[in-house]
Structure 1
Amino acid sequence: MKLQPVAHLIIGGILLFSVAGCASNNPVSGKKLIWSDEFNERGLPDATKWNYDTGGSGFGNEEAQFYTKDRLENARVENGKLIIEARKETRENRKYTSARLLTKGKFSFQYGTVEVRAKLPKGRGTWPAIWMMSEDMKKWPDDGELDIMEHVGYHQGYIHASVHTKKYNHIMQTQKTDTLFLKDVSEKFHVYKADWSPEKIDVYIDNQKFFTYENKEKSYGAWPFDKPYYLILNLAIGGMWGGKEGIDDSIFPQKFEIDYVRVYQNK
């Protein structure tokens, strides 16, 4: 059963408290639901909850898509799900269009649990992600990034979870990451979850933990995860990782389907 949206107060992009009585439906033990999108309304994504990154800059990864805003062909809610759709069509200097939604400026939180139930696109060149970045991002990777789910289409079924920090990142080949294989990620919905506390970050798929990053060093270079972060959902095409083995143009359009996004905080 889908939960109803929770009312909340935000000042400066940070959620202060929730007032809806839906915590009784809470499936996460010991947590309180503080924000969610159940995608119950048809049309464009809820503008009170989501912003967009737009353009065709490559976003630091040499990605091939142009991210659009307020365009139903690339991001829409239908049949109780958010659909992020990548299409083969020219937009400015790019051969593909897609969407990247984020809660920056709308909602951020510090410590808690994120759950996203999703079904992934399939095909060489696709690169969907569920991830988080600091609301106070000044320099990447120093201020931190948490990747709850990444999947590259040429490596079908392998789900990656990672953190990026000043000390640990893929540029230095010190990245902290792990992988779990699921054969049906593009055929069935799975729950991708991150549990974030001052001591560690655990990442799960369907309650199976496969990645842990601990705050052992107690330094900002290793652990910048002590401030509010916001959520990002996107479907990139190509790029240094997603396009490592090229892009199969015969696969389009491709859909990244999200059933719900829920954020819980420690009681």
Structure 2
Amino acid sequence: MGRSRGRPLRALLAAAGAAALVLGAAQPASAAPRVTLAVAAPTSGSTVHDTTELRFTGTNLATVRVYRLAHLVATATVTADGTAATSQVDTTAFRDGPVVLSALAWGRGSLLPRASATLLVRVGNATADQHPAGYKLVYGDEFAGRALDRDKWCTRYMYDGGTESAAEQAKIDPSCLGRDPVTGTTLGTLDTLGGNGTAPGQEAQVYRDVNAGGKRMHTVQDGYLSLHATATRLDQPYLKYESAMIRSKREFLPTVSHPLYLTTRVRLPDVLGSWPAFWLAGGYGDGHVRPPWPPEIDILEAPYNKGGNGADVLWTAVQTYYDHDEFPDGPPQGPVRTTYAHPSFDGNAFHADSSIRVRWIEVAAEWTPTSVCWYLDGLKFACKDYKWVANAGPQDTTPATLLLNLAVGGPWAGADGVDTTKFPMTYDIDHVRVYRK
């Protein structure tokens, strides 16, 4: 899939354009409505990376397909009125440099394409994310296949419990399970933080691999993962939705000599009551303790309601929980002090200049043994002191596992209800990467 070398760009454009036009001209004359197609975005010559959205305008569009060197790379979604189309192209399949893409459009009932458009972009994936100088990639998933990589990810929390039957829990990948060293309880089965369904909890969904209607809740296409959420349990009193999450099998812990930079590129749903997140919690470690809580670092939380949690808000946090009598000098994880704050950071959340939803954004955290700094699209907006240590002390502290999940409802995200008219919804994840200095 690499670009041709040694050929002038004009020659590449001419060859691709000519091929597209020949196909378009092959349609016999008929009384069918005229079909037109034009590229609306990105602009020709612009630099793109990762999963890139192409937007088209036109008339009487029924099908639009995108090709590179005669290879189909994407099929666009066309609006009902046939005047616009969008497609997602995974540019990680191409080498960095100039790439020519050709789009062909069909009208309703036409066997051959009836319009074409050509676009030149420059792929720049080598420096696509904003990791600082001196860091090297040690872990990642580009979601470039056709299914979730189960060698890298689990789809339940690392704790015990859950609403699924014993038969359903028996289907969970054994490598995703742990064991409580004291009670012997099997860990890795918890499918919600919303309780057991008999009382309200933090969330109002259960996590599933396949929902009640048979739909897969993790899908991979065009170089990104989609976590789906569906309103398929509305007959239940509290846990009314089904959704998806992922948890990394690999665990991470920074050292003084080797801090970490953790980053993901995501597209958040624009749905009232949704709560997508990217966060860290204690993993299994060597198995001598159950995963402790705290510590916890929230890199991205995006609850969406009408009470100050709008489309422009990105929440962050570091978690502590302690008994004042047991820890009179403060929690083991603290003291938590803000050491840097962008003017748009209010101490807990960053307020962007515009909506951060339904577009690709890059969120990240630079993590050391004593601090965390948060980033949005390369902009550092907050830093806090924080120690990754369990309440019981360093001896019972485990490395962190990475979690990305799409929660729904609950008292925070669902304070103003859940807009089920926009269901099913998705939380899209273009990549997850961990860098070490």
Contact 1:119–1:190 (CA<8 Å) still a contact in 2? yes
CA distance in 1, matches of 2:361, 2:252: 23
Indicate how the Cα distance of structure 1 residues 78 and 240 shifts in structure 2: closer, same or farther if over 3 A, else same.
same
- For 1:252, the equivalent position in structure 2 comes to 423
What is the deviation of 1:165? 1.8
Distance in 2 (alpha carbons) for counterparts of 1:32 and 1:147: 23
Distance 1:239 1:66 in 2: 12
Cα shift at 1:199:
2.9
Paired with 2:392 and 2:274, the residues of 1 have a C-alpha distance of: 30
Return the letter of the residue paired with 2:253: Q
CA contact (8 A) 1:84 1:234 kept: yes
Letter in 1 for 2:415: K
> Contact 1:131–1:149 at 8 Å: present in 2 too?
yes
Query: What is the match of residue 250 of structure 2?
Result: 107
Change (3 A) 1:37 1:70: farther
The answer to whether the Cα contact below 8 Å between 2:365 and 2:375 also exists between their aligned partners in 1 is yes
Change (3 A) 1:198 1:222: farther
CA contact (8 A) 2:155 2:246 kept: yes
Higher relative contact order (Cα pairs below 8 Å, separated by 6+ residues): 1
- Residue 221 of structure 1 and its aligned partner are, at CA, apart by 5.0
Residues 279 and 403 of structure 2 are in contact (CA less than 8 Å); yes or no, is this contact kept in structure 1?
A: yes
Matches of 2:149 and 2:250, distance apart in 1: 13
How many residues align structurally?
238
Residues 86 and 219 from structure 1, CA distance in 2 versus in 1: closer, same or farther, beyond 3 angstroms?
closer
Change (3 A) 1:219 1:109: closer
Structure 1 equivalent of residue 279 of structure 2:
131
Query: Is this contact kept in 2: 1:148–1:162, CA < 8 A?
Result: yes
Match of 2:296 in 1: 145
Counterpart Cα distance in 2 of 1:35 and 1:77:
19
Match of 1:239 in 2: 410
Match of 1:41 in 2: 145
1:181 aligns with 2:326: no
8 Å Cα contact 1:165/1:222 also seen in 2? no
What's the CA shift for 1:257? 0.7
Matches within 5 A, 1:7-18: none
Cα contact 1:166–1:222 (8 A) shared by 2: no
Counterpart residue identity of residue 144, structure 1: P
Please, what is the CA RMSD of the aligned residues?
Answer: 3.2
Residues 203 and 209, structure 1, Cα contact 8 Å, conserved in 2: yes
Shift of 1:254: 1.2
Provide the residue aligned with 1:66 in structure 2.
Answer: 206
Alignment partner of 1:86 is 2:229:
yes
| 2:349 maps to amino acid | T
Q: Secondary structure at the match of 1:259?
A: strand
**In the TM superposition, what whole-angstrom CA distance separates every residue of 1:72-121 from its partner, at most 9, and x where no partner exists?**
53211111111011111128944211011101xx2011121111001101
Deviates more, 1:192-201 or 1:93-102: 93-102
> 1:156-192, CA deviations, whole angstroms, 9 ceiling, x for partnerless residues?
22100101023589xxxx9985211232311311110
Question: Percent identity of the aligned residues?
Answer: 29
- Determine which structure has the larger strand proportion and give its number: 1
The answer as to whether partners of 1:100 and 1:234 remain within 8 angstroms in 2 is yes
- Higher alpha-carbon deviation: 128-137 or 114-123: 128-137
Q: Distance in 2 between matches of 1:209 and 1:221?
A: 29
Name the larger-Rg structure.
2
TM-score, structure 2 length as denominator?
Answer: 0.49
